[in-house]
Amino acid sequence: MSEIEIFNVMVLATMFILGAIFGSFACCQAWRWRYMVHKKKDLGQWSVCLHCGKKLHWYDNIPIISWLMLRGKCRYCHKKIGIADFLSEISMAVAFFMLSWAYLLPMLHGWDILMRNPAQLALQLGSFILTLLMLVVLVILAVYDAKWGELPLVLLLLAVNMGAVILVLKLISTSLAGDEAISELLNALFGVLILAGTCFLIYRISHERLMGGGDWILALALALALADWWLALWTIFLANLLGDLIALPGAMKQGNHVVHFGPFLVAAFVIVLVLGNALPSLLKGII
Ligand SMILES: [Zn+2]
């Protein structure tokens, strides 16, 4: 392995672990939020088993690994720990890994060139970090939606704000590079119309059966951060595809056709963000 390859592996491994930690954090926050809002109870500072209330040791609290070692059960009472914990840890780890591969590595490799333009560097780095932080909020929302079929409005509005700030950073970066910021703004707004508009229409037409009232606000946050109508179109397409493949068969079997769309929107968003930067010709060339 060359030095550059070792460097790449180290960066990506670090981001994978960081993602797993943030995924664990996000899932905990979803539970905390639920307890705060519905039971008016603070879960306290430490991680506890929700069944027996025992405080967990650090070694039972390692993202991904502990869940696998304990096979998804509490060490003390042997009751099941939800699959949501594991899924949010692993998917966040993969998301951090892929986003770093698509955005962070190119930035680090072009560091010398970027350093000649510190403002541009700060904007790119800022928008990358903000995207990761937004992802934490999005995963809290996705876990909440998957578990309880609701999207807390405060978190939705936080995500919309973060998406708007990411868009502003991109617009500043465009105008600093001497390109037309106005056409990029129109591009972003068209994306909002496609992604949030479609979700809003489905929500109204299906009378909340296919899509809840929170989904279009979530879609708005995603479209702002994507800032591109092609990527917005791909996101709605992929989210529907994932939802149909994964959730719809189960929902049909149970007789209620309610599909919680939030997690699929978030998953599609990450895939599109990664492919949009790594393989732009794939998403924009073929359709
Ligand atoms: Zn327990």
Q: How many Å lie between the centroid of ligand 1 and the Cα of residue 112?
A: 52
Q: How many Å lie between the centroid of ligand 1 and the Cα of residue 81?
A: 8
Q: Write down the pLDDT at residue 244.
A: 83
pLDDT tens string, the chain, 287 residues long: the values are 888 899 999 999 999 999 999 999 999 889 888 888 887 666 666 677 878 888 888 888 888 888 888 888 888 888 888 788 899 999 999 999 999 999 999 899 888 888 888 998 999 999 999 999 999 999 999 999 888 888 999 999 999 999 999 999 999 999 998 888 899 999 999 999 999 999 999 888 988 777 778 899 999 999 999 999 999 999 999 998 998 888 777 766 766 666 678 899 999 999 999 888 776 666 565 44
Q: Domain residue spans in the chain?
A: 1-109, 118-287
As a whole number of angstroms, the distance between CA 200 and CA 220 comes to 10
Can you give the three-state secondary structure of 50-84, one letter per residue?
CCCCCECCHHHCCCCHHHHHCCCECCCCCCECCHH
Q: How many Å lie between the centroid of ligand 1 and the Cα of residue 37?
A: 23
Q: How many Å lie between the centroid of ligand 1 and the Cα of residue 56?
A: 9
Reduce the DSSP state of residue 48 to 3 states and report it. Answer: strand
Q: What is the pTM for the complete model shown? A: 0.89
Q: How many Å lie between the centroid of ligand 1 and the Cα of residue 247?
A: 29
Q: Write down the pLDDT at residue 229.
A: 93
Q: Write down the pLDDT at residue 254.
A: 67
Q: CA nearest 271: which of 229, 237, 246, 244?
A: 237
User: If you write DSSP's letter for every residue of 209-267 in order, what string do you get?
Assistant: SSS-TTHHHHHHHHHHHH--HHHHHHHHHHHHHHIIIIIHHHHHHTT------HHHHHH
Q: Write down the pLDDT at residue 135.
A: 96
Residues with CB under 5 A from ligand 1 (ion): 49, 51-52, 74, 76-77
Q: How many Å lie between the centroid of ligand 1 and the Cα of residue 55?
A: 9
Q: Write down the pLDDT at residue 287.
A: 40
Q: Write down the pLDDT at residue 150.
A: 87
With beta carbons less than 8 A apart as the criterion, state whether 171 and 184 touch: yes
Q: How many Å lie between the centroid of ligand 1 and the Cα of residue 75?
A: 7
Q: Write down the pLDDT at residue 37.
A: 82
